[in-house]
Structure 1
Amino acid sequence: MSFDRLLGIDVGFSKSRPTTGIAWSVAGELGAAKTHTDWERRQQKIPPATIFSVIAIDGPLTPPDAPDDLARLCERLFIRGAFQTRCKPVLSHHGYGRALRKAAAETAAQVTHLAAATPIGQAVIPSTAIIEAFPNAFLGVLLGDERFGTSQAAKRKKFDWLYDHAVESGVFAKLLEFIGWSDDRVLQRLTDERDHERRAAWICLMTAACAAVGKAEAIGDEAGGWIWLPPAELWADWARRALAENRAAQMCSRPLARAARQTRAPLMS
């Protein structure tokens, strides 16, 4: 699969401001734009008459039958340990997270007709090549431990802080070389971008590119969906360790949770 016909969308869900970022690679051309949440205006920023081989959306995507209050494994694996202060996700089963999950589902519904009908890996939307991107973690796992010091940005500026460090440390060049996208224009666009929403869209596009060549790392399960991240070979050591530790902790907590439910059962009968 080539790097043609790829689409990345940073959802955003402000009703009044243009908070949706869109980036694409089509027929050798690259582009990025910022727009609103409604389909009428979003479609004006997407190359027309294109069926995309992979579409990556920055927002929690769950299987059609997943309940709204489902606590997703892919999110639980990134909310503790080193990830907690570096690139943790919003939990999408309550509060703000539910609104984001709804916005992501609405975005996926808007573009389903633009997605190739060939499923890709662990895509959760039936018969489509639509996957979930998580730009903060995508960037975070590529950065070395030394990048995370006392000067970390506040939560609301976290993504741009991570992006700036990714540019400064040269991880974009390494990523593009590893996945085989030898186009200097891509690196230039990534390096020069300053707009928050378009930056997020570019990382969604990079997520789609990694998936397109079978080099993305998908984290999660069938029940709650998958977060797609850079190739595992490029992850920083701290990120590898943190994920392994969180997986081990999650495995230990499952038997305890089952035991607790069994203990409570007689009291509920």
Structure 2
Amino acid sequence: MRFDKLLGIDVGYARSRPTTGIAWSLGDAVGSARTHTDWERRQRHIPLLTTFAVIAIDGPLTPPGAPDTLDRLCERLFTRGAFQRRCKPGLSHFGHGLALRKAAAETAAQVSHLAAAAPIGRSVIPGAAIEAFPNAFLGVLLADERFASSRAAKRNKFDWLYAQAVESGVIARLLDFIGWHNDCLLQKVTTETDHEKRAAWICLLTAACATASKSEVVGDEAGGWIWLPPAELWADWAADALSRSMWRPRAVARRGGEPV
């Protein structure tokens, strides 16, 4: 399995500050950058003349024509039970969440020409662009005691999750499970300190799981899909929390793009 031509983008939506993170793989090489929201500056940090097999975007991706007011099932599933305290998303049909949804749509439009033509599983964007959710991606991998032993300030939640994931070794375990043996990548991911680059690396890992057909994909046709790590690596609390959330109409989980 080669994890070649993958792209991860942490959207950000501040116009005056560099709040976009970008991470990519090309052959055995990997890289990351922090930049602005406009395409002129974003494209400078993406390998030239590359069509990516999978593009994972950290931002709400809704189907074409979906209304701004759409209350997405895939987000609601992670506002329930243990997820609510540990790695819930901000709802994207109002307020700052809606601004992020619009920024994600703008980002997807910017990079749509870079997506491979071949579809991959549940992809809202024609081609191969999928939705990443770094907080939940990391959170579901962490054991229950990690949350019981410490509390993270809400504004620092992602960086706390990232530090816990590095310290506990779950990122190394994930890479081994999907078969991506790249010492340079592991070193870059586990020593990263920049918030936006960290998020971009997790988007890249989301794309890698999709490439390996080892993803847990949650959502529905109406609101779109969130791609997460393989279910085999989920902590018991997270697997139980998702199972409880799934007892709702329209809730669907798919693994590797295929029905469970």
Provide TM-score, normalisation by structure 2: 0.94
For the pair 1:183 / 2:182, whether they are aligned, the reply is yes
1:252-263 paired onto structure 2 within 5 Å: none
Q: Quote the residue 2:243 is aligned against.
A: 244
Q: Quote the residue 1:203 is aligned against.
A: 202
**Structure 1 residue 87 displacement after superposition:** 0.2
Q: Secondary structure at the match of 1:77?
A: helix
**Structure 1 residue 2 displacement after superposition:** 2.3
Q: Secondary structure at the match of 2:81?
A: coil
Residues 3-22 of structure 1 deviation map (CA, whole Å, 9 limit, x = unaligned): 00000000001111100000
1:1-269 paired onto structure 2 within 5 Å: 2-126=2-126, 128-149=127-148, 151-248=150-247, 250-251=248-249
**Structure 1 residue 186 displacement after superposition:** 1.4
Larger Rg: 1
Check the 8 A contact 2:63/2:222 in 1, yes or no.
Answer: yes
Alpha-carbon RMSD:
1.3
Distance 1:75 1:240 in 2: 16
Residues 192-212 of structure 1 deviation map (CA, whole Å, 9 limit, x = unaligned): 101000000000000000001
Distance 1:252 1:216 in 2: 20
The unaligned stretches of length 5 or more in structure 1 are 254-269
**Structure 1 residue 183 displacement after superposition:** 1.2
**Structure 1 residue 80 displacement after superposition:** 1.2
Q: Secondary structure at the match of 2:160?
A: helix
Change (3 A) 1:182 1:150: closer
User: Which aligned segments of 4 or more residues in structure 1 are displaced greater than 6 angstroms?
Assistant: none
The unaligned stretches of length 5 or more in structure 2 are 252-260
Check the 8 A contact 2:86/2:139 in 1, yes or no.
Answer: yes
Residues 135-182 of structure 1 deviation map (CA, whole Å, 9 limit, x = unaligned): 000000000000002622111100000000000000011100100001
Change (3 A) 1:44 1:239: same
Check the 8 A contact 2:28/2:182 in 1, yes or no.
Answer: no
Give the share of equivalent positions with the same residue, in percent.
72
Check the 8 A contact 2:220/2:250 in 1, yes or no.
Answer: no
